[in-house]
Structure 1
Amino acid sequence: MLDKKDQQILTALQENARISVSDLANTISLSDTPCLRRIKKLEKEHVITGYHASINPKKLELNVLVYAFIRLNQNSVSAADLFEQSIEKLPHVLECSVISGSYDYLLKIIANDLESYEQFVKHRLGSLSCIANIESTVVLKQSFTKKQLPL
């Protein structure tokens, strides 16, 4: 269970993962060593799983965001394993979730434009024999995205 200080550390790191331990310790009224000890404990317990830069996709000409619903041609462990291993290797797939309902997976995919997404579907997803059906939903506008988890 996380105590108040751990929650304060996580909140501060979600806002700025590059904050120095000294500044973080000051912010939450701890000295440096106990603060660092808590951070290391949170990392060891896999509460903190990494530190990342937030990059604007538009600056990299990645202008299209698509959610693709995937149905596999068979509901088996081997088909799921093959699909997941294949999808994980594709850099344009940002997220892969197992879902309930009519489809087996939901993918979050980023592409330069609709033409490049079409090529991705035809040549990358379409080449996977384990896929029976793909239904795509193009995001017209992303109102907001949150990077911080509620603590």
Structure 2
Amino acid sequence: MISKEDEKLLAVLKHNARASISDLARMLDLSRSTVQTRIAKLEQSGVIKGYSVDYGEDYLASLVSAHVSIKVRQKLTAKTNVELKQIAQVSALYAISGEYDLIAIVQAQSTEQLSHILDDIGNLDGVERTNSSVILETKFKR
């Protein structure tokens, strides 16, 4: 279990993971060494797995996104998951119930690139069938 101070630190880092140790210390009213120690503990315990980039709204709006339902041969599911993880444009992969086994969220810079990625996914060893739905508009997102 993490402390209240760690929760505050995580909230600030989630908002801006690039904040300097000095800025974090000022915001949290802690010493720099305390902040460094807390971050190191959170990383070592696995609470903080890494740091990532949040894309700007304009860039995200320029991408073509699609939900790709994927039917996989049972014995090749693990291999297919690993291969899908290697495709940079696959931003998320979910195991689902129903006719298909997986849903991949794919983000491409153009419909042409999306078409090539869909071909790549369809040609993976273990993929039996895919069904794609291009996202036309986002009504809301939480």
- Distance in 2 between the 1:109 and 1:67 partners? 6
Whether the aligned pair in 1 keeps the contact of 2:122 and 2:129 (CA below 8 Å) is no
CA distance in 2, matches of 1:102, 1:117: 23
Counterpart for residue 85 of structure 2? 88
Give 2:41's aligned amino acid. Answer: K
Tell me how far 1:145 sits from its aligned partner: 5.1
Distance 1:142 1:59 in 2: 14
Residues 95 and 60 (structure 1 numbering): CA distance in 2 closer, same or farther, change over 3 Å? closer
- Tell me by how many angstroms 1:57 deviates: 7.9
Say how many residue pairs are matched: 142
Q: Distance in 2 between matches of 1:58 and 1:90?
A: 23
Matching residue within 101, 104, 110 for 2:98 = 101
CA RMSD of aligned residues (A): 2.2
Q: Which residue matches 1:75?
A: 74
Fraction of identical pairs, as percent:
29
- Deviation track 1:110-148 (CA, whole Å, cap 9, x = no partner) reads 1122232222222x11212311221112111235556xx
- For the Cα contact (< 8 Å) 1:8–1:28, is it kept in 2? yes
Higher helix proportion, which one?
2
- Report whether the alignment pairs 1:53 with 2:33: no
- Structure 1: which 5+ residue stretches go unaligned? 147-151
TM-score when scaled to structure 1? 0.82
Provide closer, same or farther for how the CA distance between residues 15 and 97 of structure 1 changes in structure 2, counting only shifts above 3 A. Answer: same
> Does structure 1 residue 130 correspond to structure 2 residue 126?
yes
Contact 1:68 1:107 in 2 (8 A): yes
Unaligned runs of 5+ in 2: none
| SS state at 1:110 partner | strand
Residue 28 of structure 1: how far off its partner (Å)? 1.5
SS at match of 2:74: coil
| 2:77 is equivalent to residue 112 of structure 1 | no
Instruction: Give CA-to-partner distance per residue, 1:37-90, whole Å, 9 cap, x none.
Output: 111100111111112222348549952011111111x322xx012201221221
* Runs of 4+ displaced beyond 6 Å: none
Alpha-carbon distance in structure 2 between the residues aligned to 1:57 and 1:91: 19
